[in-house]
C-alpha cells in the first residue's frame, strides 16, 4: 500500500510541477500506461479500494483525462488508442 501511495504521489508532484504546461503526447501516453498498470497490478495484489482511489489518484486521473481530451482535439492520431478509460468500465 505504501509503495502504491508513494508512486502516485511522485506522479502527482511531477504533474503539479508542470501544471501550466501541456504534456507532450509521448509523456501523456507513457504516464497513462504507468498509472493504469500500477493501479491494476496493485488491485490484483489486494490493495484496498480506499487506498487505490485516493485523492492523489483522483488528481492524477483527472489531469491525465484532461490532457487526453486536449490531445484528441488538437492532434488527430496522437494517442493511438491509449486512454485513461479502463477496458472493463
> 25: Cβ–Cβ under 8 A, 6 or more apart, which residues?
71, 75, 78, 79
84 within some domain: no
Structural domain containing residue 68: 1-74
Reading the block at residue 9, the C-alpha cell is 504521489
Predicted confidence at residue 60, as pLDDT, reads 96
* Distance of alpha carbon 5 from alpha carbon 29, whole angstroms: 21
41 within some domain: yes
Q: What is the pLDDT of residues 63-72, one digit of tens each?
A: 999 998 888 7
Q: What is the pLDDT of residues 6-40, one digit of tens each?
A: 999 999 999 999 999 889 888 999 999 999 999 99
The total domain count for the chain is: 1
58 within some domain: yes
The 3-class secondary structure across the chain, one letter per residue, is: CHHHHHHHHHHHHHHHHCCCCCCCHHHHHHHHHHHHHHHHHHHHCCCCHHHHCCHHHHHHHHHHHHHHHHHHHHCCCCCCCCCCCCCCC
31 within some domain: yes
* Distance of alpha carbon 86 from alpha carbon 20, whole angstroms: 27
**Region 56-78: what's the mean pLDDT?**
85
88 within some domain: no
Amino acid at each position: 500500500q505504501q509503495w502504491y501511495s508513494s508512486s502516485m504521489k511522485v506522479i502527482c508532484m511531477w504533474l503539479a510541477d508542470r501544471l501550466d504546461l501541456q504534456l507532450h503526447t509521448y509523456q501523456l501516453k507513457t504516464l497513462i500506461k504507468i498509472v493504469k498498470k500500477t493501479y491494476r497490478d496493485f488491485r490484483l495484489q489486494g490493495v484496498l479500494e480506499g487506498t487505490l482511489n485516493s485523492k492523489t489518484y483522483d488528481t492524477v486521473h483527472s489531469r491525465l483525462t484532461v490532457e487526453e481530451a486536449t490531445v484528441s482535439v488538437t492532434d488527430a492520431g496522437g494517442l493511438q488508442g491509449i486512454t485513461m478509460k479502463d477496458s472493463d468500465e
